[in-house]
A and B are shown apart, each in its own frame.
Chain A
Amino acid sequence: MASNSSGSDSSDRQRIAQQRLSVIAGHLQRPVEGNSGILAAECKAQGDKLDVSSERRTVPRRRQEIMKWNGWGYSDSKFLYNKKGQAEFTGKRYRLSGMIIPGLREWMESTFSANLQHKTPAAPILNSSAVQPPTLNEAFLKELKSTGIPFSHDAEDRVFRSHGHCLHEIFALREGKIGRVPDLVVWPNCHNDVVKIVELACKHNVCLIPYGGGTSVSSALECPPEETRSIVSLDTSQMNRILWIDEKNLTAHVEAGIVGQDLERLLNESGYCTGHEPDSMEFSSLGGWVATRASGMKKNIYGNIEDLVVHIKMVTPRGVIEKSCQGPRMSTGPDVHHFIMGSEGTLGVVTEVTMKIRPMPEYQKYGSVVFPNFEMGVACLREVARQRCAPASIRLMDNEQFKFGHALKPQVSSIFTSFLDGLKKFYITKFKGFDPNRLCVATLLFEGDREKVLQHEKQVYDIAAKFGGLAAGEDNGQRGYMLTFVIAYLRDLGMDYYVIGESFETSMPWDRVLDICRNVKARIVRECKDKGVQFPPLSTCRVTQTYDAGACVYFYFAFNYRGLSDPVHVYEQVEHAAREEILANGGSLSHHHGVGKLRKEWMRESISSVGMGMLKSVKDYVDPNNIFGNRNLL
């Protein structure tokens, strides 16, 4: 990903290495896990064939060393208003880092009627006394100790693994409210460690909740409050090696705990990539992708997770499930991989995955197209899909998002650039007659041979022209994709100033795209009004993926909650209504976020009672004692 992590210049590397050192130092000081190092090393030795040194892994066991406990992402990266009242993005990790964003304040003030005077600061530190003491299963613990697998019942460690990134989860943390959290965290180092843990869990009737990158937005990681057994969070983050690369078949065998950015970076070093880039790829893990049926931005070239996976190894209470060969396609009854993909941690832990890899693309080019209105934009995307010539990524933002993207433009350094921007704006609005309150923009990413990319680009721009689209430059395109990674940070800024919000996604047939976008946005506005929200909400959407038979749409929704006594409840009611609207209009329950506990009330309606029975019977066979008791999905 050219826009962020791959910009890891030498200073970055140095810093990460330093961090790692301090992490290791931290471990050495912790007597609880004193004996863990030795046995873990044994484990590592098995997979030593290709393993690249672990110094450069992003996610340490103690996530708190680099990540926020009550917000998105790295501790060093956040939006804030500086002393001059200008928005600024801190840190050094992203292209936007260290930059002033002059338009953001005005956009926030006008969109949400937010005010810098009205702050809602988060609780500064995690108060360990607010965390319930762990319910430990002593027998389990005793045997676990003897295996030498590292574990912890430190309050911070447990709180970190008790949530994903739903609004209500983060909001509660910011207020210092902590509900049921896992009683213990274990860090297996390899497949065999997982086998041992699952065996012990079965033996001692302990509830296991697998934890990958912690980026869930479906309440999937929440501990069921009704669970009385000891809950053990199985953190796969230390199972993060590429075990082998097979260049003949273009596959790689990878441990499932690896996070997206590490996977891509390590493969890039060998000249390969998977091309799987979900927006959360900095933090989300391979196992998590498999367990939720993830989708990547560049699926048009590389496919979604189900297209990328060749072989899966999963540890279940019944034993290990895997196929006997790596044939590219099989007719051996229903594909058992499809019981695993989307199982959301209810059946077992995915430990190792063989994935397709591709040589790194020779050439990448961003692009963007401005359309006079959203309808034309959608018509263009539909035509691109019909001709099956979608670039690696094509996304269409609606007018509100276009304006939002504009507000996030960093301060330009030269007068010339700002003059050029002014000229562009003049050309589009005055000369071409686009209504600035209706126009919308598509961002594009092309990948492949230089020659072919240019050819492809022309084809797409020609189609766009038929729908009134005007090419609007590489810059706008690139900024659009960069924003994907920082947008999650922005929610934390909003929450500092009474603004809460979230995104949710769906998929639908082509003929319903416009109807769903309109109706869901309108429903959000109406529900906010009905529920007493004092200010008009931001209700916007974008088409993020195209398929032969339909599209994936993201909705973004946020509002200023001043004057509401229970903003999160209001938020949840509105999101609930929006989902009902989606379903009533023929949209799906989820395109790739999954069901978790947040959307499970609609499962029966979505897949029929018989479908539920099928899934239920698989669960009953694989995990009769509900060891994997996160209660997602069913």
Chain B
Amino acid sequence: MYSSPPPTPFFNIADITLWTLDPMLKKRDDFEDMLEERRNSSDLRYALKCYTPVLYKGLTPCKVSELKQMVLQSDQLGYVITQVSKEKGVTSDEVTGEAAAILEEMAQRLQLSTVRFFAFTLSKVFKTLFRSICINEEGLQRLQQAIHNHPVVLLPSHRSYMDFLLMSYILYTYDLALPVIAAGMDFMGMKVVGEMLRMSGAFFIRRSFGGDKLYWAVFSEYVKIMLKNGYAPVEFFLEGTRSRTAKSLTPKLGLLNIVMDPFLKGEVFDISLVPVSISYERTLEEALYARELLGVPKPKESTSGLFKARKILSEDYGSIHVYFGQPVSVRSLAESRVNRSQFNLIPRHIPTRPSEEILSFVNDSAYRLVRAQEENMVLKPWVLLAFVLLQKQAAEEKQGTALDELTEQAVWLRDLSRQYGAFLHWPDHIPPSEVVSSSLSLHRGLVRISEGRAVVILSCASYRNQALNVFIRPALLASAIHTAASNRKQEIYNSFSFLRNMFSNEFILCPGATVQDFEEACYLLVKTGTLQINQQEVLITERGHRTLAFLTSVLDPFLQGYQVVCRFLCEQDGLTEKQFIPAVRKFIIKHLLTGRLRYTEVLSSDLQKNALAALIRLGAVQKIKGNNYCFNVFPSEARNRGL
């Protein structure tokens, strides 16, 4: 697939509607600090304030218990219950009982009193932890309008446990309808807290229920009924889980599929999907994530664990930026993409597997939404510093960096990232050197990089990762130019296409959009004077070398990481899935110690897993299902493909 030639002539910069590509022209709203008012007025009065949100215009108000009844009496569930009772040879009453139990375990019990309790305590906590929580209020106005007009799905990015409490807190503060939130079952382990979360609108779903028809039916019907009736905005995380690396994760499609279904089947006129970008200057889980990536197991969620985490309260976590993006109408996404009449010939309550057409539509939509999240992520100066520091560390400049030099490089990178459309929050009224030093002081725990400790490096990498999406396409192009045998455009495209395909588990690169991505990268690099592109050739300009060098080194850790995983696999004659991570980790440590590998961050299990998944996808490694899961490696193939 990666070698297929692009449609000819595959780019003609003048023809592309420039403003869609030009990130500089992106309009973004201003932020307001919502904590400011909290610091100046009574939290108690705030928690007890009159709360009268705007609701969906078609809403027929109903109680939590009625909602459950509607699910249990729905045709959809009824159909599956009959089916399951026939298959298992039990009475349908029993199956219904089972369904009711599932629903009981799952359902939220949103209660305003609990929300008020959270509003009070979270105010206290947030004020201690954070300097500010900045919101784009225009986004909230758009959201309010959207809630009034159509059922709404909130899609926040997921970097921290805080995310969904924070979301509800914001919506409560701004008098918006409180969402119901799809949460992983692991929270239920925390007894009191689990119930509290339930009462603040969380509903719990099992992490895996692959073959369980009944569970799936109850779950999907529950979500759809809440959505269709406009009961509350439905909130879930497209990425499925918290990203430990601060890179966006490949979107999960299950829930998105469910929430789009009512529109596709004509049960509602439209649905608004609202991407929300939450960026933390410092995540609470910073060190935790890094340890997890290095193989220190994640502590089980428990109430007592939460109390132990109290010490977090004494630290400074900077600010949070929450950006409510433009609502995306499912109707307009589906326009001229999906033929909705495909659902005309089967009663809509009979569950059917989504067609290829629908799956690819949902997949593309998911990528679009994740990109919309990425685009509105606020980047702090520290993120840029992380780039500089990590690249220096890898270049083994052990003696530390002079502040002046660091500042110069940061300012250069600031300008570059702005040209690429990054949503950078760099205080322009303060001298750059002060910006740099104050960033360093907030993250002082990470700064003494010269020690080279893996945890610190991975934490640092996770900050750098926040801005990877800004550079990824130009970086792929830069690496493609670097590896291509000539400067012929076609050749560079081929190598771009290969790299892009290779890394599509690692970064958010929408399947099938190679040509668009290539055009976008070319456009950015030409616009910033790095490249000159004519009909046949790609030429590097005089001043373009610095940029290209930087961009190549952005991708370098990943390239080397994938290479080392390949090398590791080539030396194996099959191993089980379980063995893979520990074995590859050992292998990498050996290489790091001997100095054959420069990038400590390759130790990240996330990268290792992604590399393996990519190799399996590309057919270089085969997964054999048997008694023990083995990987059959075709080394020659792996080498053929340039690794």
A residues at B contact (CB < 8 Å): 511-512, 515-516, 518-519, 522-523, 583-586, 605
- Report how far A131 CA is from B446 CA in the complex, Å: 87
Q: Residue of B at shortest CB range from A521?
A: B269
B347 interface residue per 8 A CB criterion: yes
Is there contact, CB below 8 Å, between A511 and B269? no
Is there contact, CB below 8 Å, between B266 and A584? yes
- Which of B174-182, B311-319, B337-345, B357-365 lies at the interface? B337-345
- Report how far A515 CA is from B340 CA in the complex, Å: 13
Contact with A along B245-280 (1 / 0, CB 8 A): 000000000000000000000110110000000000
* B contact residues around A584 at 8 Å (CB): 266, 339-341
Q: Residue of A at shortest CB range from B347?
A: A511
B348 interface residue per 8 A CB criterion: yes
User: Helix, strand, loop or mixed for chain A's interface?
Assistant: helix
- Report how far A519 CA is from B269 CA in the complex, Å: 5
Known A-B contacts A515-B267, A519-B266, A522-B269; the reply to A586 vs B347 at CB < 8 A is no
* B contact residues around A518 at 8 Å (CB): 269
B residues at A contact (CB < 8 Å): 266-267, 269-270, 339-341, 343-344, 347-348
Q: Residue of B at shortest CB range from A519?
A: B269
* A contact residues around B266 at 8 Å (CB): 512, 515-516, 519, 584-586
**Shortest Cβ-Cβ A-B pairs, 10 listed:** A585-B266, A584-B340, A586-B344, A522-B269, A515-B266, A519-B269, A584-B341, A515-B267, A583-B341, A519-B266
- Report how far A518 CA is from B57 CA in the complex, Å: 13
Known A-B contacts A518-B269, A522-B269; the reply to A511 vs B348 at CB < 8 A is yes
Q: What would be 14 A-B contacts, judged by CB atoms less than 8 Å apart?
A: A512-B266, A515-B267, A516-B266, A518-B269, A522-B269, A583-B341, A584-B266, A584-B339, A584-B340, A584-B341, A586-B266, A586-B343, A586-B344, A605-B341
**Contact check: which of B269, B339, B341 meets A586 at CB < 8 Å?**
B341
* A contact residues around B347 at 8 Å (CB): 511
* A contact residues around B270 at 8 Å (CB): 522
* A contact residues around B340 at 8 Å (CB): 584-585
- Report how far A516 CA is from B265 CA in the complex, Å: 11
- Report how far A320 CA is from B343 CA in the complex, Å: 43
- Report how far A585 CA is from B340 CA in the complex, Å: 7
Kindly provide the distance from the CB of A242 to the nearest chain B CB, expressed in whole angstroms.
43
* B contact residues around A512 at 8 Å (CB): 266
- Report how far A57 CA is from B269 CA in the complex, Å: 49
* B contact residues around A516 at 8 Å (CB): 266
Q: Residue of A at shortest CB range from B329?
A: A526
Kindly provide the distance from the CB of A402 to the nearest chain B CB, expressed in whole angstroms.
19
Q: Residue of B at shortest CB range from A588?
A: B344
- Not counting A584-B339, A585-B266, A586-B341, a sample of 11 additional A-B residue pairs whose C-beta atoms are within 8 angstroms of each other reads A511-B348, A515-B267, A518-B269, A519-B266, A519-B269, A522-B270, A585-B340, A586-B266, A586-B343, A586-B344, A605-B341
> Chain A CB within 10 Å — which of B269, B340, B343 has the most?
B269
Kindly provide the distance from the CB of B77 to the nearest chain A CB, expressed in whole angstroms.
16
Kindly provide the distance from the CB of A311 to the nearest chain B CB, expressed in whole angstroms.
35
- Report how far A583 CA is from B345 CA in the complex, Å: 12
Q: Residue of A at shortest CB range from B264?
A: A584
* A contact residues around B343 at 8 Å (CB): 586
- Report how far A123 CA is from B265 CA in the complex, Å: 47
- Report how far A586 CA is from B264 CA in the complex, Å: 11
* B contact residues around A519 at 8 Å (CB): 266, 269
Kindly provide the distance from the CB of A411 to the nearest chain B CB, expressed in whole angstroms.
36
- Report how far A586 CA is from B267 CA in the complex, Å: 11
- Report how far A389 CA is from B266 CA in the complex, Å: 29
Q: Residue of A at shortest CB range from B344?
A: A586
Q: Residue of A at shortest CB range from B342?
A: A584
Q: Residue of A at shortest CB range from B75?
A: A511
- Report how far A515 CA is from B267 CA in the complex, Å: 6
- Report how far A516 CA is from B340 CA in the complex, Å: 13
- Report how far A502 CA is from B112 CA in the complex, Å: 48
- Report how far A595 CA is from B200 CA in the complex, Å: 54
Q: Residue of A at shortest CB range from B150?
A: A522
Kindly provide the distance from the CB of A523 to the nearest chain B CB, expressed in whole angstroms.
7
- Report how far A519 CA is from B265 CA in the complex, Å: 11
- Report how far A511 CA is from B345 CA in the complex, Å: 12
* B contact residues around A605 at 8 Å (CB): 341
Q: Residue of A at shortest CB range from B58?
A: A518
Q: Residue of B at shortest CB range from A583?
A: B341
* A contact residues around B269 at 8 Å (CB): 518-519, 522-523
Q: Residue of B at shortest CB range from A508?
A: B344
Q: Residue of B at shortest CB range from A605?
A: B341
